[in-house]
Amino acid sequence: MQIVILIILFLYALLIIRYTLGWYKVQAITNKDFTPKVSIVIAMRNEENEVERLLQNLQSQIYPTDKLELILVNDHSTDNTLNILNSSQLDNLQVINMPKEEFGKKNAIKNAIELASGDIILVSDADCSFNPKWVQTMVNYFTDENIKLLSGPVAYHKQKGIFLSLQALEFSSLIGSGAGAIGFNNAIFCNGANMAYRKEIFLEVNEFSIDTAVSGDDVFLLHSVKAKYPNSIAFAKEKSAIVITDAVQTVSGFINQRKRWTSKSSSYKDNASLYTSFLVFFTNLAFVFLFAIPFWNIEYFNLFILFYGVKFLVDLILLFPILKFFNRTDLVKWILPFEIFYSFYIVLIVVLSFTKSFEWKGRVHSK
């Protein structure tokens, strides 16, 4: 058993070091003269409290208005979302109301892109905020004709409290790990709150119509692009590309969200993503085992200290530059206690994601 645990630790350390090196390999691109036609696509359901703020935020983008199209899709909202959208006076706004027989974010995005006039599609969520240079920064990467899909950085609003701090730390680690994997041309995931791709590539490779997972509009598209064009994915490592969103405010909401995120991993077909998912799970399972077993067998205590120490050091090496990029070095102090919290929580979430239903946008879904 001890040999198995050490092998898991060794493989995990190699993986995290690789992501760290990949993070440093990611390079920024600047070209202020590149202004292709862009369509921003956002699916919305019951977002009446976000619509006006979102439209103002999008309207503030420093980008030629005649080259920017806003497509907001109403996914059967039961509140005042659609009325607010329809009352907007923005000339470059197109509102789509989904037909009765279709629902969900994947169908919303598919319908929007079929009508989009932009060569570049930018997708995000209704609760997000953007730097005025967001659009320009993201599209700059497409000056390279080899780039088909771009993953963008996402961060949580800075809020006080242990729960929200640990959330922000975990979220930063996910974004950074995804960027590090892209840095080594072996992308595993991205975040649908900030990504861009060529319209033509979406129409060519997307499989939304046959995906069984409720979510995954981001990662499954990334996997499809990677499978056909393995060196065509980039990460926007620039502060002006950062999209800000809200952390979940309640423990129950947090668990529900993570169940939804984790449930789609059962549909992964990408080997690197599967390997990473299993390795991270077994690393944290081993940590939980080592935390508990010394109460019955003290001989494992030294191994627990070694495991804890090595995992903390490699995670710190990865997280510090990522937190610096997001201006969240205040979270460094939480990394050590986070190691224990995260291991117990990730094992619990994996179990729950495959055994319990989850709620999303007022709809209940099974795994």
Q: What is the pLDDT of residue 366?
A: 54
Name the least confident of 44-53, 192-201, 258-267, 347-356: 258-267
Nearest alpha carbon to residue 39 among 75, 93, 85: 93
DSSP string spanning 29-40? ---TT----EEE
Pick the range with the lowest mean pLDDT from 16-25, 110-119, 251-260: 251-260
Amino acid at the residue 107: N
Q: For residues 168 and 170, what is the distance between their CA atoms, to the nearest angstrom?
A: 6
Q: How confident is the model over 242-251, as a mean pLDDT?
A: 89
Average pLDDT over residues 183-203: 94
More confident residue, 362 or 30: 30
* Domains of the chain, earliest start first: 2-21+270-352 (no CATH), 27-248 (3.90.550.10)
- What is the rounded CA–CA span in Å between residue 59 and residue 53? 10
Q: In percent, how much of the chain has pLDDT > 70?
A: 92
- Alpha-carbon gap, residue 39 to 341, rounded angstroms: 40
Quick one: pLDDT at residue 361? 54
Q: Does 100 have pLDDT greater than 90?
A: no
The secondary structure element, H or E, covering residue 266 is: none
Q: Which of 333, 336, 280, 270 is nearest to 308 (CA)?
A: 336
Among 54, 48, 24, which residue's Cα sits nearest to residue 130? 54
> What global pTM score does this model have?
0.90
Q: How confident is the model at residue 359 (pLDDT cuts 50, 70, 90)?
A: low
Q: With 80 as the cut, is the pLDDT of residue 40 above it?
A: yes
